[in-house]
Amino acid sequence: MLLLALVVTPFARAQDAPPTGAVFGFVTDASGNPLAGATITVADLADVAAVAGDDGSFGLTLPAGDHVLLANTPALTSDGFLVSVPADDTAFVSIAATNAAPPPPEQPTPTPIPEPTVTPVPPTVTPVRPSPTATSIPTASLSGNVKNPDGSQPIGGTTVLVLDLPGYQASTGNGGAYVVAGLPLGRHVVIASDLLGAVSDRYQVPLSGDATLNISLQRFPGGNPTLFVGHVLSGSNRSAVAGATVWRFGGAGITTSSADGRFQLVDASRGSPDPNSSQLGRAPDAVTFVAVKDDQWGMLRPDPNNPGRLENVLDQQSTPPPAPHATPFRDGMSVTDRGEQYFTAKWRNSNNARLDGIEIHIKRADGSDDFNNGNGFGNCVGDCGGGRPNGFVIKLPRNQNVTLEAWDEIADKPWKSTHSDPLAWDEAQVVRLP
C-alpha cells in the first residue's frame, strides 16, 4: 500500500470547475534512499501539502498548470522542483532532498522592558497550515505476455520497464508472463527488453484500472550499425542543450550533445538471436531515444518510415530510465565479461589519414586472438548533412574476459609501437547494456 497525503481520485469534475491533475512521485536523499515522512509543500498553494510514505512516495491533486514543489525533513530540504501538471492526467516526479536544513534561529537573551500600557485590540486570526494526512491513492496492475517475433517465449531475464517510473518493472515468468503491480493511475510509457538487447516498440498505456498489455520484441536486424544525428532541446524554450547524455533504449551506443545541442549516436544491435554470435546488426525499425541533462530528461520515438529531424525535448522531471554503461577506451584495457558489450568509436573525416589501417586486437582469456577493423556505419538517420563522422563498432565476445589493444593492420604491430601521437578518434568506449 502506498501511503500518500491526498487521495488522487479519478479525474471527474463539474463542467464549470477549473481543470485539475495529479502529481505522483518519490522523495529521496542524495544516495537515492527513500525519505519516509518527508513533507511536500507547494510554493504557490499555501493550503496544500503531502507526507511521503514508507517508500518515499507521495501524491497530490493540484490545479492544472505549473507548480513548484519543495520536500523537507528535519535534517534535509530540496531545491524548488518545477512540475507541469496536465489536466485530467498525472505527472510523475522524483525529488531529491540534498541540502542540509537550516538550523533553528537562536533565541535572543530577553531584556527587561517596562510594561506597556495595555490597550484593548481586536484579536488577530492567524491562518493555520493544514496538517497533511497520509491516505492511500488508487493503483492498478498492468499484466500480459512478452513474446519473441516468432511468438516463442523470450529468454529468461526479459524485463518490462515503465519508462516514466523506472522503479516499476517486472521480469517475465513462465511463457513470458509479467505483472507490474501497484502502478498509480495515469498515462504510462512501457517498453520491454531482453538480455541480448532485443527491444519492443514503445507503448503508451492510459491506466484507469487493471489492464492487459501484450508485448512483442522486434527481430534482430541484419546490416551495419546506424548513425543517428539529431538535436537536444530544452523543454521550457526549445533552446539547444549542450552536455546532455543521449542513448537509444536497448542500443549499444551512448554520446553527449555538443555546444549547439547536436548529437551523433553510433548505434548497433546484435544481428543474430544466437547468444554466442558476434554478428552485428543495425538499429531496429522502431527506436526510442533518451536524453538526460541534470534533473531534466526526455524521450523521442521517431516515425520509422519518416524520421525527419530528430529533436529530443527535455520535458520530463523525474528519475530517467537506466542508461548503458560506458567506459572510455584505454589501450591495453581489460574488459570483464558482463553480458552484452560493444566497442564503439568515431572520428572526424579530417583524421582519416591518421587512423589509416587501425584495428582492434581482441585477446581472449582462452588464449585465442581476434583482429577486427570494425563495421562502418551502414546508414545515417536524421540531420546527416551537417558533417558525418567515420568510425566503427565491434561486438565483443560473451562469456569471456578480453583485453583490447589498438593494432596497426599494415605494420602488423601494436599501434603505439608505430605511432607516437595519441589516437585521433572521439568517444572510443566500451559500452555495456543495462
Residue-wise pLDDT tens digits, 294-333: 878 999 999 888 888 999 999 887 778 889 999 999 999 9
Please compute the mean of the pLDDT values over residues 85-102 and round it to a whole number: 83
Backbone dihedral angles phi then psi of residue 351, each to the nearest 5 degrees: -100, 10
Lowest-confidence pick of 113-127, 212-226, 228-242, 325-339: 113-127
- Residues with Cβ < 8 Å from 206, sequence gap 6 or more? 186, 187
- Residue 267 neighbours by CB distance under 10 Å: 27
The highest-level CATH class for domain 3-100 is mainly beta
User: Which pLDDT score, from 0 to 100, does residue 114 have?
Assistant: 67
CA atoms of 66 and 35, how far apart (whole Å):
24
The percentage of residues in the chain with a pLDDT greater than 90, rounded to a whole number, is 47
251 contacts: CB under 8 Å, gap ≥ 6: 197, 265, 267, 268, 269, 283, 287, 324
**Cβ–Cβ under 8 Å, residues 23 and 83:** yes
Burial per residue of 166-197, b for 16 or more beta-carbon CB atoms within 10 angstroms, e otherwise: eebbbebeeebebebeebbbbebbbbbbbbbb
Cα separation, 172 vs 178, whole angstroms: 5
Q: What is the pLDDT of residues 359-402, one digit of tens each?
A: 999 999 888 999 998 888 878 899 888 677 888 899 999 888 99
All cell numbers assigned to 371: 583482429
pLDDT of residue 122: 65
pLDDT tops 70 at residue 125: no
Give the least confident one: 74-83, 113-122, 220-229: 113-122
Q: E strands along 208-333, which residues?
A: 211-212, 215-216, 226-234, 245-248, 254-256, 262-267, 269-270, 280-281, 289-293, 296-300, 311-314, 325-328
Q: How many CB atoms neighbour CB 249 within 10 A? A: 24
User: For the chain, what is the mean pLDDT?
Assistant: 86
The helix/strand/coil state of 116 is coil
C-alpha cell recorded at residue 42: 507547494
- What confidence tens digit (pLDDT) does each residue in 22-37 have? 888 888 888 878 899 9
Q: How far apart are CA 362 and CA 371, in angstroms?
A: 6
| Contact indicator for 283, 147 with CB cutoff of 8 Å | no
**H or E element that contains 233:** strand 226-234
CATH topology of domain 138-216: Immunoglobulin-like (2.60.40)
| Residues ≥6 apart with Cβ < 8 Å to 108 | none
- Kindly report the length of the chain: 434
Instruction: Please tell me the distance from the alpha carbon of residue 227 to that of residue 385, in angstroms, as a whole number.
Output: 12
The residue ranges of every structural domain in the chain are: 3-100, 138-216, 220-434
Q: Are 257 and 311 in contact (CB under 8 A)?
A: no
Return d(Cα 163, Cα 303) in angstroms, integer: 19
Beta strands 311-314 and 226-234 are: parallel
3-100 and 138-216 in the same fold: yes
